[in-house]
Amino acid sequence: MFLKGIKLATAALMTLRVSSTLLSEVPEGTPLQIHHAFNNMNTEESTGLSFTWTTRENSTRLLASKCNVVRVTNSDGATRDFMGLSNSYNTTDDLLHTVDVTGLEFEMDYSYQVGCDRLRWSDTHHFTSPPRPVTQDTRQDLEKSFSFLSYGDMGVGNSAVGTKDAIIKDDTKYEFLLHNGDISYACGADGVWDQWFDLIEPYANKFPYMTTQGNHDLLPADSGGEDGIPYATRFKMPDDGSNLIDNKLYYSFTHRYVKFIQIATDVPYYGGDDYDGDDTEQYKWLEQELIDANSGDNRLSVPWIIISGHKPMYCSSTYGTNDRSSETGLGNSGSITRYLEPLLEKYNVDVFLAGHIHAYERTKPVGGNGTLIDEDSIRPNPDGIGDIYASPSHPVHLLLGMAGAGHLDEEWNVWDDGAWAVHNEETYGYMSMTFHNASAFEMTFVANGNGVLANGTMLEDSELGVNEPSVHDRVIILK
C-alpha cells in the first residue's frame, strides 16, 4: 500500500532565522566554519583528512593568508602541525584555508585546532580518523557496524535549522555525512554560504562532510552566476574532486566494506549502447570505477556499492522535468536513467541516493526504467515501520531532498505514483544509515519534528518547533 505524501505548511510559515557569525562578534582572523573530508591520501599503514575553514578579516588578511595550520594531537599527547594554503574568490571577503592531514593511524581518536601562533587558534575539536578499508586479509572486519548520515537540498531557511537540531540531538556515532547537492542556496548572495557553514559546523567539525554539487551550486542560471566557484573553493573532496577546470566534480572513496561513488548529474554523463556519440569522460570514469569494484575478489571484501548524485533516476513527482521518458535532456530523471541505469544493473550497484526534489521517497528494488520490479524480495518490517528487502535483484533508490529547502508549489508538483514507488512524503528531516555488518544495511528516514507529528498530523503555526524527531520510514537490505 503506497503511503501518500504529507504536505507541510508553506515555506513562509516554516522559515526559521539563522544568523551567520558577524565580523563584529569575533576577533579578526578567528577560524570559523571548520569542516573536513576524506582525502584518499591513504597508505597501507595510515590515512588522512582534508580540513577547510574560513577567516573574516580586513587588517589581518595578509597575516591570515599565511596562517594555514592544523595542529593534531593523538591520545598520547603527541602533536604534529600540518601546513596548507589559503584561497579566495572575487565575490567574498572571506579567506578560505585548506590543509591536508596525512599519516593518521586508522580509527584513532584525535584532538585538533586550526589557525596559527602568529594570529589565532580555533577552539579544540575532536575527530576519529577513518578506518582501514576491508581487504582479503582483514575480512573479520566485515562483522563491524558503522553509521553515516545523508540528505540533500538544505539551505538556511524553512526547516534547515530543524534538521541541524535533530542531528545534534541524535546520539548515534556517525562516521561521516553525504550531502547530495544543492548545498546552501546562496545563488550569488555569498553571505548565505557563511550562514550555512555556521549552521552545520557543530557536526561538520566532528566527522567528514562529503558533498556532491547540485544545479543550484553549479549551473550558471540556477546558481545566480556562481558557476560552482564558491562550492569548489569552500570544499575539498577526494582526488581534487572540486577541480572545475577538469570538470572532475565526481569522485569515490571506500569506507570499511562499502564503495561510495559520487557522480555529477549536471556534468555530461552520457554513454553506453543507447548513446549515439562518444562516451563522455564521466561515463567512462564511472564504468571504470565499477569495473574495478567488481574485479577479482573485490566484492568479497567490499561487497556494497552506493552511488550518490543530485538528480534522481526515479521520482514520482511530476515537478519540472522529472520525466522518465527516453527523450528528456541533461539533468533529468529520464536521461540519467537512460544512460546510467544500465551500469547500475550490469555492475550490481546496491543503492542510488539523490536529492533535487524537496521531499523523501523510497522505491522498491527496480530496474529497466521502471519495468523490472523485484516484488519477491520485499517483506514487511516486523517493527511495523517500512520493509525488508532480502537479497534484492535490482538497486534501491532513495530521494533525500528533505534537509530544509522549501517544499514545491502544489500547483506544479503532483505525486504520480509509479508501480515501483513505496513511500513518499514532503517532510523535513535526514537519513540515518547503519550497516549492522556487511550483510545488513538499515536506512531510516528521521523527520526532524519541525511541523509534523509522527502520525502525519499538521502542527499549527504557533506550535512549530515543539515536536521531537521521529522515524517515518525504514528499509533494511539483506545480502
Helix or strand (DSSP H, E) at 402: none
The arithmetic mean of pLDDT across residues 29-39, rounded, is 94
Contacts of 375 (CB under 8 A, 6+ apart): 364
Question: Tens digit of pLDDT for each residue in 277-307?
Answer: 999 999 999 999 999 999 999 999 999 999 9
pTM greater than 0.85 (yes/no): yes
- Separation CA 317–CA 440 (nearest Å): 29
Q: 110 φ, ψ to 5°?
A: -135, 155
| Best mean pLDDT range from 11-20, 227-236, 253-262 | 253-262
CA 30 to chain centre: 27
* Residues ≥6 apart with Cβ < 8 Å to 198: 18, 19, 20, 21, 32, 33
HSE (side-chain half, CA atoms, 13 Å) at 270: 15
307 grid coordinates: 552511488
Burial level of 255, CB count in 10 A (0-12/13-18/19+)? Answer: buried
Q: What is the DSSP letter of 231?
A: H
pLDDT grade, residue 315 (50/70/90)? confident
Distances (CA, A) of 218 to 48, 182, 209, 267, 452: 27, 9, 18, 9, 32
Q: What is the pLDDT of residue 295?
A: 97
Average pLDDT of the residues of the chain: 86
**In 3D, which of 319, 325, 314, 313 has the Cα closest to residue 415?**
319
**Residue 5 pLDDT exceeds 60:** no
Within 10 Å of residue 77's Cβ, how many Cβ atoms? 7
DSSP state of 405: S
CA distance 32 to 425: 35
Q: Is the pLDDT of residue 13 over 70?
A: no
CB neighbours of residue 379 within 10 Å = 11
Maximal CA-CA distance, the chain: 67
Tell me the pLDDT tens digit for each residue of 356-407: 999 999 999 999 988 899 999 999 999 999 999 999 999 999 999 999 998 7
Identify the residue whose cell numbers are 567539525.
Answer: 205
146: three-class secondary structure by DSSP:
strand
What pLDDT shows up at residue 249?
Answer: 86
> Over 50: is that where the pLDDT of 475 sits?
yes
Beta strands in 338-458 (DSSP E): 351-354, 360-363, 366-367, 372-373, 378-380, 387-390, 396-400, 421-425, 429-437, 440-447
